[in-house]
């Protein structure tokens, strides 16, 4: 399958600081990228969907001013957690889809995730 | 809220046994995807299903898209230790939003 990378794989920060997470599609052009959040022993929760060159669409209950998403190119999307607080600590996973990534455009490929710990 | 009901939530089996898990929904899905997630990693796509009734295999894994388009199952034959992990079903609700089941945690006793 197609390859999606994420950086960093883990980050520890102080409360009140901002953290940026990068998501890259390595071998295909990702017309749509998604950001998920996952708590321990729970399923993935979609935070937002972004199409290249457009503003992200946020799910209900997700603060767009706190979780800034930029999808400036067909291979890169970033999630910035602004003024992070301990309750923002979680596993953040991006995914991407695009033409040629899989057998169908509907196949979504996930990055390895970023574990954020806010002290 | 959660649109997909996945069962069982957990399974404890012996190595070599076959495994079966399924997902059901009250909504019709056009695509079913099955993923496996290892601890601390992102989900990896195992099988994608696009047509009602479709039966697809990937090695020891077999998945089917239910005729009603409201359910799907995943079977694993002759389980091995590396099959341990969490398996998620997922389906598209609308054109873009992928909805996930609660996951099935598979534990294998050697």
Q: Compute CA distances A79 → A19, A37, A62, A69, A111, whole Å.
A: 8, 11, 13, 5, 13
B 42-101 residues inside an 8 A Cβ radius of A: 42-45, 48, 50, 88, 90, 92, 96-101
For residue B11, give how far its alpha carbon lies from the nearest alpha carbon of chain A (Å): 14
Give the tens place of pLDDT for each residue, A61-93.
999 999 999 998 999 999 999 999 999 999 999
What is the structure's pLDDT at A100? Answer: 77
Q: How high is the mean pLDDT of chain A?
A: 93
What is the structure's pLDDT at A101? Answer: 80
Please, which pLDDT band fits residue A106 given cuts at 50, 70 and 90? confident
- Contact criterion met (CB below 8 Å) for A46 and A107: no
- Residue B39, chain A, CB below 8 Å: the answer is no
Q: Which of A6, A107, A113 sits opposite B33 (nearest CB)?
A: A107
Q: Determine, for residues A49 and B96 on separate chains, whether the beta-carbon distance falls below 8 Å.
A: yes
Mean pLDDT over A35-56 rounds to 91
- Residue B40, chain A, CB below 8 Å: the answer is yes
What is the structure's pLDDT at B77? Answer: 97
Residues of A in contact with B3 (CB under 8 A): none
Q: Determine, for residues A108 and B33 on separate chains, whether the beta-carbon distance falls below 8 Å.
A: yes
Q: Which residues lie closer than 8 Å to A55 by C-beta, 6 or more apart? A: none
Q: Which of A9, A3, A2 is nearest to A93 (CA)?
A: A9
On the question of pLDDT at B57 being above 90, the answer is yes
For residue A93, give how far its alpha carbon lies from the nearest alpha carbon of chain B (Å): 7
Give the tens place of pLDDT for each residue, B19-50.
999 999 998 888 899 999 999 999 999 999 99
Q: Determine, for residues B45 and A1 on separate chains, whether the beta-carbon distance falls below 8 Å.
A: yes
Q: Determine, for residues B98 and A32 on separate chains, whether the beta-carbon distance falls below 8 Å.
A: no
Q: Compute CA distances B13 → A112, B80, B105, B107, whole Å.
A: 27, 10, 11, 6
What is the structure's pLDDT at B17? Answer: 97
């Amino acid at each position: 399958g197609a390859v999606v990378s994420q950086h960093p794989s883990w980050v520890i920060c102080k409360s009140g600081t901002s953290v940026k997470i990068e998501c890259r599609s390595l071998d295909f052009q990702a017309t749509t990228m998604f950001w998920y959040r996952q708590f321990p022993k729970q399923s993935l929760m979609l935070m937002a969907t972004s199409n290249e060159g457009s503003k992200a669409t946020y799910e209900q209950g997700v603060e767009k001013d706190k979780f800034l998403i930029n999808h400036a190119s067909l291979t890169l999307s970033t999630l910035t957690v602004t003024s992070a607080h301990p309750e923002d600590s979680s596993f953040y996973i991006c995914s991407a889809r695009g033409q040629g990534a899989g057998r169908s455009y509907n196949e979504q490929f996930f990055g390895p995730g970023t574990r954020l710990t806010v002290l | 809220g959660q649109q997909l009901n996945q069962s069982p939530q957990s399974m404890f089996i012996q190595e070599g046994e076959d495994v079966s898990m399924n997902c059901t929904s009250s909504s019709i899905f056009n695509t079913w995807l099955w993923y496996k997630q290892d601890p601390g990693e992102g989900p990896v796509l195992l099988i994608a299903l696009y047509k009602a009734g479709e039966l697809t295999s990937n090695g020891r894994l077999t998945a089917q898209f239910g005729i009603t388009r409201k359910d799907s199952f995943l079977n694993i034959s002759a389980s091995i230790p590396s099959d341990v992990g969490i398996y998620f079903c997922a389906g598209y609700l609308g054109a873009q939003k992928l909805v996930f089941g609660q996951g099935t945690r598979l534990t294998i006793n050697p």
